[in-house]
Amino acid sequence: MSKILITGANGFVGTNLVKKLLTEGHIVRCLVHRNSDSLKNLPIEIFNGSITSPDTLPEAVKNIDFVIHSAGILRAMEVKTFFDVNQAGTANLIETVYKHNPGIKRFIYISSQAAMGPSKDLNLKDPASACEPVSNYGKSKYMGELEVLKFKNKFPVTILRPAAIYGPHDKDMFAFFQMIKTGIFPILSGDRDSRIQLCFINDLIEICRIILKKDQLKSSIYFLSETRDYTWQEVAEKIGIIMGKKPFCFILPSWLVHFIALTAENLSYFFKREASPFNTDKANEFCQKYWLGDPSSAEEELQYTFTSLESGAKITYNWYLNNKWLRE
């Protein structure tokens, strides 16, 4: 049994992490900057604070065995905010850990495929190859990785780069389930032949669980995804089969995707004063032809088999139904 600090504990990844680790008997400490129903009534330690406020961090990092850093920002109205949170916030956290708890067993950073960037062709991109992010989000996550790697000779650090994550509690991929339910599915990459990989949330959680039990790891960085890649139409059709739908897929040209993203961004800024879920930064990611990485090091070194889209999507769809996010 270990004592584990989870940042971003009330987010999509964090919520799933907390619940899984509790079932294994770990003592879970959560760093949160706001209360959340997802953590309500759970037997956890809650520390109110933020990775952007270094003075709130020392007590949270003391007397723990592991840190799983899943806090971050996916969208922002200003570019600077990405780097304030994903880079500087990560630096604040790991520097505080080194200062107040240098004997920590391992620091795990949940990064993103966006940090690595898309592949140039159908060849799977090696996690050890040069990173070429195409979005401000991806650039900020990559800079966060560099902050973590500064400490790799101080204590064990591991960086996980999941592909697009889906699963229970997820609101972003939920939009795709909603579209498939309507029977209409726009392909936002601008290219019918574009290919992506996906990571089921349970796989990310299991990989974290496995790493917690490892004293030594061969690699510092792992890319996580199902080995198989898909076109967006294949994704829609496979989820459609589970939902009993046959979605009509059509391609939106990249210029139109960017125009829609810019419009949504401006409307959200002027009327809601908040970042739009679909924005120009996200459009830059969607309009890449190949999001393909090589998960073989995770499969071989951690002896793990990733969940198929068919299985993961079925679990996710049933969760959406059971929690009234969708109706049959």
pLDDT at 34: 73
Over residues 145-163, the pLDDT tens digits come to: 999 999 999 999 999 999 9
Over residues 186-197, the pLDDT tens digits come to: 999 999 999 999
Per-residue pLDDT at 33 exceeds 90: no
pLDDT at 115: 98
Per-residue pLDDT at 179 exceeds 80: yes
**pTM for this predicted structure:** 0.95
- DSSP collapsed to 3 states, the chain: CCEEEEECCCCHHHHHHHHHHHHCCCEEEEEECCCCHHHCCCCCEEEECCCCCHHHCHHHHCCCCEEEECCCCCCCCCHHHHHHHHHHHHHHHHHHHHHHCCCCCEEEEECCHHHHCCCCCCCCECCCCCCCCCCHHHHHHHHHHHHHHCCCCCCCEEEEEECEEECCCCCCCHHHHHHHHHCEEEECCCCCCCEECEEEHHHHHHHHHHHHCCCCCCCCEEEECCCCCEEHHHHHHHHHHHHCCCCEEEECCHHHHHHHHHHHHHHHHHHHCCCCCCCHHHHHHHCCCECCECCHHHHHHCCCCCCCHHHHHHHHHHHHHHCCCCCC
Greatest mean pLDDT among 36-40, 77-81, 91-95, 258-262:
91-95
Mean predicted confidence (pLDDT) in 10-35? 92
Write the single-letter amino acid at 72.
G
Interhelix angle 90-100/136-149, nearest 10 degrees = 20
Q: How confident is the model at residue 167 (pLDDT cuts 50, 70, 90)?
A: very high
Q: What's the rounded Cα separation, in Å, for the pair 148 and 255?
A: 36
Over residues 182-233, the pLDDT tens digits come to: 999 999 999 999 999 999 999 999 999 999 999 899 889 999 999 899 999 9
**3-170+198-226+290-307 is classed in which CATH architecture?**
3-Layer(aba) Sandwich (3.40)
Radius of gyration, CA atoms only, the chain: 19
Percent of the chain residues topping a pLDDT of 70: 99
Mean predicted confidence (pLDDT) in 82-89? 98
CB half-sphere exposure, 234, CA atoms < 13 A: 14
Per-residue pLDDT at 118 exceeds 90: yes
Q: Please report where in the chains the tokens 């004592």 appear, as a residue.
A: 3
Q: What's the rounded Cα separation, in Å, for the pair 63 and 102?
A: 10
pLDDT at 7: 97
Task: Supply the mean pLDDT for the chain.
Answer: 95
Q: What's the rounded Cα separation, in Å, for the pair 191 and 188?
A: 8
Over residues 240-296, the pLDDT tens digits come to: 999 999 999 999 999 999 999 999 989 998 888 888 888 999 999 999 999 999 999
Q: What residue ranges do the domains of the chain occupy?
A: 3-170+198-226+290-307
pLDDT at 104: 97
